[in-house]
Amino acid sequence: MSLVATSVLWAAITSMICIDAIGTRNEFVSCMNNIIPFVNTSTYVFTSGMPMYSSLVSSQHNPRCSNLTESLRPVGIITPQNEDEIQAVVICSREHGLRVRVRSGGHDYEGLSYLCKTPFVIIDMRNLHSISIDIKQESAWVQSGATLGELYYSIAQASQTHGFPAGICPSVGVGGHFSGGGFGAMVRKYGLAADNVIDAYLVDAKGCFLDRESMGEDLFWAIRGGGGASFGVIVSWKIKLVRVPPKVTVFNVNKNMDQHAIGIIDRWQHVAHKMKNELFIRLLVQYVHGDQKTSVQALFNALFLGQLKDLIPLMNETFPQLGLKAEDCIEMSWIDSVLYFAGLKGAPELLLGNKTDPYVSYFKAKSDFVTKPIPQHVFVRIQEKFHEQKLVFMIMDPYGGRMSEISKSHIPFPHRRGNLYNIQYLVKWEVNGVRASNEHIHWLRELYKYMEPYVSKHPRSAYLNYRDLDIGTHRHANTSYLEAKVWGEKYFKGNFKKLTKVKSKVDPDNFFRNEQSIPFA
């Protein structure tokens, strides 16, 4: 075939694709109008060519994902105001062969909340962010579009002695965070965010609106740590608030990564998971390149649910190697500790909104769980490797405490007793582009490969909220259980089998699916 003929053929194919996409878009909008005739769809359904569409498409926290050229642009982005509009989206998407992606905060590490290789729509939950606090019942209803910062702020406005055990980044959306497990600085005292969910509202694959009672205990179990995107659209969550003291104590102790610091890290590995449940000391090994004299740093970052006068004796008894002094510590309210851990200085109102989100960057992450202390020589090698990058982190969160008391099958998140700590490996970069991304990602994969002998085994575990497509994806629409267990058991261990059974029951047509969704049993 001649070059001219080939060009004409491709032009014809492209034209047909565009016409088909426009037709699908128009049919979808018409369907929405038919189901909800008294609401102007232009106020919450945004399609290509509308002013809001482009800004909504680019609303993401990992711009690296925009390099994935195989993903299509969404047929439409819907910003619902209520559950009726979500039900209509599900019904119309099914009717017109569209996939659905649900975006709460846009923090999915691999972009699965807003990317798809087949025609799809995005349900953007940003308008569903109401929070209702009931201090008398020590509970709250929070919609999935709210951020963790908004939730923490609302709790603190209602009470100075209540909080909630969820993540440290305030701009993360509640919907994805809770459904993947969700842990933060109170994980050793109160467990995961998902451990403290007591009810939920969900729109299922048939467009039905369900609560805990009507969805049944199996589905309610699955959405608390098994990833909500496999099972439906979670509209809101009822959570159990937890008690916090009027004053808590925080500290940051920074060490240059020399042999002495590596000895302190070794001691941390042996004691951090055994300390009082009220004490959480996370460890960050980080390298932020400034000049040739910049050192790799070990940062010990802590929250103690108590006063300074009780912390210092506790540290002297259990972890004297750190050399903690009273002047290293600050007493503050729990809500101020939220700001402290997020690296924010100022009033609690800084937790509201995410217009200037400092966490937006090009990055790739991977995760591990550690079941026995890593030898000191490994940290020497890690230090050497970190100098090959400009912005790289190993974030280690201690477990033990309440996490060791909760059964591994209580919810889908199985990483309980026997885990000393979790690792998040994170590399960031400033220059966009496929080549730059590939170079940094390759470096991180090599680090991950190097760590294999020193972390959990059979399987080598991973954390769903630190999503990592490297560990495996669906090869086709109806991947089998045996194919998917390669990555599924890394996230969920023995709970993966039950998740697939729930999936088979509640979504038999596999409507809610993505590259790492739960398959059928």
Contact (Cβ atoms closer than 8 angstroms) between residue 429 and residue 391: yes
Contact (Cβ atoms closer than 8 angstroms) between residue 183 and residue 194: no
53 is catalytic: no
Contact (Cβ atoms closer than 8 angstroms) between residue 113 and residue 176: yes
- Rounded CA gap, 235 and 216, in Å? 16
DSSP notation for 299-362: EEEEEESS-HHHHHHHHHHH-GGG---GGGEEEE-HHHHHHHHHT--S-GGGGS--TT-TT--E
- Rounded CA gap, 299 and 254, in Å? 4
- Rounded CA gap, 74 and 250, in Å? 44
Contact (Cβ atoms closer than 8 angstroms) between residue 148 and residue 167: yes
CA 55 to chain centroid: 22
CA 500 to chain centroid: 21
CA atoms within 13 A of residue 133's CA, in its CB half-sphere:
17
220-223's contacts with Cβ under 8 Å and 24+ in sequence apart are 221/411, 221/412, 221/498, 221/502, 222/412, 222/498, 222/499, 222/502, 222/503, 222/518, 223/179
The catalytic residue among 114, 340, 425, 466 is: 466
Q: What amino acid positions are annotated as catalytic residues?
A: 466
